[in-house]
Structure 1
Amino acid sequence: MSKSLTGQELVKMFEHWAPKSIAMEGDKIGLHAGTLNKKINKVMVTLDVLENVVDEAIEKNADFIFAHHPFIFKPLNKVSRDDEKGRIIEKLIKHDITVYVAHTNLDMADGGMNDMLMDALGIQNRNVLIEMGKEELYKIVVFVPVSHQEEVREALGNSGAGHIGLYSHCTFQTQGQGTFKPLEGTNPYIGSQGELEKVDEVRMETIVPKYLLTQVLKAAEEAHPYEEMAYDLYPLGNEGQSYGLGRIGKLDEAMTLKEFAEHVKKSLDVPALRVVGDLHRQVRIVGVIGGDGNKFASQVKRKGADVFITGDVYYHTAHDAMGLGLNLIDPGHHVEKVMKNGVKHYLEKQCQNKDVEFIASTANTEPFQFI
């Protein structure tokens, strides 16, 4: 049976994939306009929030815009119909359209925007290019009566705990005996007030990233039969999954810089691109950072890349790359448009049993023309 979906529920599903905690400091992510506390019917995924995009959302009856680039990045001094942002805000409010933004958290997420670019280029053997950190991990130990161990295990796994590599619902349990005495004012699931109760219980333990702790504990408490769930939390020294900007990978076969540039142009669907380097030189190790990756050129070279694909390359960055012996390909910033269908497909998969439609914006937000 199909079920409705709220903005809060949608964001929770998305942030399980790309949590806010991995976004770069100061990034303007999250809710930009409207409310998450409403039922949503149609979500439009877009790279940018421009006036033509909002007009498209209105025309297609979308009530939620999921964007990659922040709509409000700097504080607004006014909201006026005389400028585009003012008109956009007016239209969003008038038509009850929510705008939610996922920027660098989507860039860094496993399977996120930079992985989407690598997929488009056909590069499967890849790793994080510029590591920004690792997940903080905790061990959660829950004490549960034997009768409810399967329900609690499912709740833990379904809410994100117990994921190790490509495996989910990873737990370990040992059986023992729990004791408790319900005091005055309690309504115990098992036992009677004032009497010591002994219950066969399971000590169930699993691993959970810090950013999921709240939702994992909530899910476990909802599945647990007791009024008060007994549990322990332990911070771990284990290294969690790395996250960071960009990806680095290897082509199946080396090709010349010119051949690879043509491949990039076709794969990322751009009418033109800029290239720095010897067009006849062989390249195989490829570094990619969607958007503006100017300040990372030297780090990309140290990682062993033959060629670095990024947008908005500055004149002096190009000179520096030449001095480093690093080839550059600049296909523009707008190639991040790959996220539109990527995010759409992810959300559709997560919401298969929900009464909501997802569409990718078709409005053109590329500011440059090529003549």
Structure 2
Amino acid sequence: MSETVTVKQVVEVFEQMSPKHLAYDWDKVGLQIGTMNKPVSNVMVTLDVLENVVDEAVEQQIDLIISHHPVIFKPLGQINPDTPKGRVIQKLIKHDIAVYAAHTNLDIADGGVNDALAEALEVTKTTPLLETGKDKLVKVIVFVPEDHADGVRRAMHEAGAGHVGDYSNCSFSMPGQGRFMPTDAADPYIGKSGELEIVEEQRVEFLLPQSNLKGVLKAMEDEHPYEEVAYDVYTLENEGESYGIGRIGVLNEKMTLSKFAEHVKESLNVPGLRVIGNMQDEVEKVAILGGSGEKYIYDAKRQGADVYVTGDMTFHPAQEAADIGLNVVDPGHHVEKVMKGAVKNYLDEKFSQSKNQLTVYVSEANTEPFQFI
């Protein structure tokens, strides 16, 4: 039987993909409108929260919007429905639609905006264009009755525990005996109140990024049969995986800048784009940064990129790119719309494995302000 899910539960699952700590400190991410306790049946994923998107959400009876660009970025002095921003916020509140924003954290996250762009452009063997940090590692040790150890281990792996380098499903187990005496207030899975119980258990250990800890512990507690789960969490000195903004990788085969520009245009479904560089140059190593990436041209050059795909190039940085010999393809800012399908696919997969009923829609409303003529 399906159960109702709340905004909080959707956010907890989504933040396993796009943890808030990845965001730049100046960014505005997280729940921006609404309450975490609101029941949710329908979620809409969008690049922007404009009025046409809100109208679409009202028509689709959406309970929660997950947006890449924050609906509230600069401080508001007032909510005036005579202004476009005021009307948007008024409609969202009037129709009880919660809004959650994942901005630079979704740019940086594995499987987020830049990975989706790399996949669309068939760029492989990617690494971050610019490292912004390293995830801290923790060790979780949990004590499980032997006949439930495999189930708990599997649930914790699926929530993000046990990835070591290029290996997944990593854990360590050791047999032992658990001893406990339930009190009169307890409702024990094994044993009786007031009687000492001795159970054959396994001690199961996992390494995991600290950013996955919350989701892993929830998965552990949901799968574990005991009323009170015995577990330990240790912070480690080991360095975790690095993460960063943008991606750099390689094409399967070299092509001219002219052919690559056509490839970008077709793959990202844009009516036009701008190119800096010699159209006959051969390109193979590709740097990618969705959104506004002109300030990273020197990082792309230092990493040895033959071409840099990014949006919002302005005149003087474009001249600088030409001066340093960096080819650039600018398909616009709106290509970040690839995040809609990536987030929908992630949530569909996660909630298909749960008892919670959730329908995820992709916004069809057009939020691209530019037209090509």
Give the TM-score of the pair, scaled to structure 2: 0.90
Matching of residue 282 in structure 1 with residue 282 in structure 2: yes
1:288 is displaced (CA, Å) by: 0.3
Q: Measure the CA separation in 2 of the matches of 1:356 and 1:187.
A: 32
- Mark the CA change 1:287 to 1:369 in structure 2 (over 3 Å): closer, same or farther: same
Amino acid at match of 1:306: D
Q: Measure the CA separation in 2 of the matches of 1:227 and 1:347.
A: 29
Matching of residue 298 in structure 1 with residue 301 in structure 2: no
Q: Measure the CA separation in 1 of the matches of 2:2 and 2:147.
A: 31
Q: Is the 2:184–2:193 Cα contact (8 Å) retained in structure 1?
A: no
Deviations 1:233-291 (A, max 9, x none): 32223332222111111112211111111111111111111111111111111100000
- Residue 106 of structure 1 corresponds to which residue in structure 2? 106
1:58 is displaced (CA, Å) by: 1.3
SS at match of 1:125: strand
1:158 is displaced (CA, Å) by: 4.2
- Runs of 5+ consecutive residues of structure 2 not aligned to the other structure: none
Q: Measure the CA separation in 2 of the matches of 1:146 and 1:88.
A: 54
- Residue 321 of structure 1 corresponds to which residue in structure 2? 321
Identity %: 54
Deviations 1:7-42 (A, max 9, x none): 111111111111112122221111111223122222
Q: Measure the CA separation in 2 of the matches of 1:285 and 1:228.
A: 52
- Residue 260 of structure 1 corresponds to which residue in structure 2? 260
1:60 is displaced (CA, Å) by: 2.3
Amino acid at match of 1:362: E
Q: Measure the CA separation in 1 of the matches of 2:288 and 2:217.
A: 37
- Residue 93 of structure 1 corresponds to which residue in structure 2? 93
1:178 is displaced (CA, Å) by: 4.8
SS at match of 1:66: strand
Q: Measure the CA separation in 2 of the matches of 1:186 and 1:241.
A: 41
Q: Is the 2:122–2:252 Cα contact (8 Å) retained in structure 1?
A: no
- Residue 9 of structure 1 corresponds to which residue in structure 2? 9
Q: How does 1:107-126 map to 2 (within 5 A)?
A: 107-126=107-126
Deviations 1:25-77 (A, max 9, x none): 22111111122312222222111111111111112222221111011001100
SS at match of 2:78: coil
SS at match of 1:85: helix
Q: Measure the CA separation in 2 of the matches of 1:304 and 1:370.
A: 32
- Residue 370 of structure 2 corresponds to which residue in structure 1? 368
Q: Which stretch of the first structure deviates more once superposed, 70-79 or 257-266?
A: 257-266
Amino acid at match of 1:357: T
Deviations 1:337-362 (A, max 9, x none): 11122222222222225433222111
Q: Which stretch of the first structure deviates more once superposed, 340-349 or 100-109?
A: 340-349
Q: How does 1:93-172 map to 2 (within 5 A)?
A: 93-146=93-146, 148-164=148-164, 168-172=168-172
Q: Is the 1:145–1:201 Cα contact (8 Å) retained in structure 2?
A: yes
Q: How does 1:1-371 map to 2 (within 5 A)?
A: 1-146=1-146, 148-164=148-164, 168-178=168-178, 190=191, 199-221=199-221, 223-224=223-224, 229-352=229-352, 354-371=356-373
Deviations 1:123-175 (A, max 9, x none): 23322221212221111122344454345434433443223457654321112
1:322 is displaced (CA, Å) by: 1.6
SS at match of 1:157: helix
Amino acid at match of 1:77: G
Q: Measure the CA separation in 2 of the matches of 1:60 and 1:89.
A: 18
- Runs of 5+ consecutive residues of structure 1 not aligned to the other structure: none
Q: Measure the CA separation in 1 of the matches of 2:72 and 2:166.
A: 37
Corresponding residue pairs, total: 370
Q: Is the 2:12–2:215 Cα contact (8 Å) retained in structure 1?
A: no
SS at match of 2:123: coil
1:91 is displaced (CA, Å) by: 0.6
Deviations 1:315-347 (A, max 9, x none): 121121122111111111011111122222222
Q: Is the 1:128–1:243 Cα contact (8 Å) retained in structure 2?
A: yes
Amino acid at match of 2:359: E
Q: Measure the CA separation in 2 of the matches of 1:166 and 1:112.
A: 19
Q: Is the 2:174–2:204 Cα contact (8 Å) retained in structure 1?
A: yes
Q: Is the 2:182–2:191 Cα contact (8 Å) retained in structure 1?
A: no
SS at match of 1:26: coil
Amino acid at match of 1:161: A
CA RMSD of aligned residues (A): 2.5
SS at match of 2:124: coil
Give the TM-score of the pair, scaled to structure 1: 0.90
SS at match of 2:237: coil
Q: Measure the CA separation in 2 of the matches of 1:358 and 1:218.
A: 22
Q: Which stretch of the first structure deviates more once superposed, 288-297 or 318-327?
A: 318-327
Amino acid at match of 2:278: D
Amino acid at match of 2:365: A
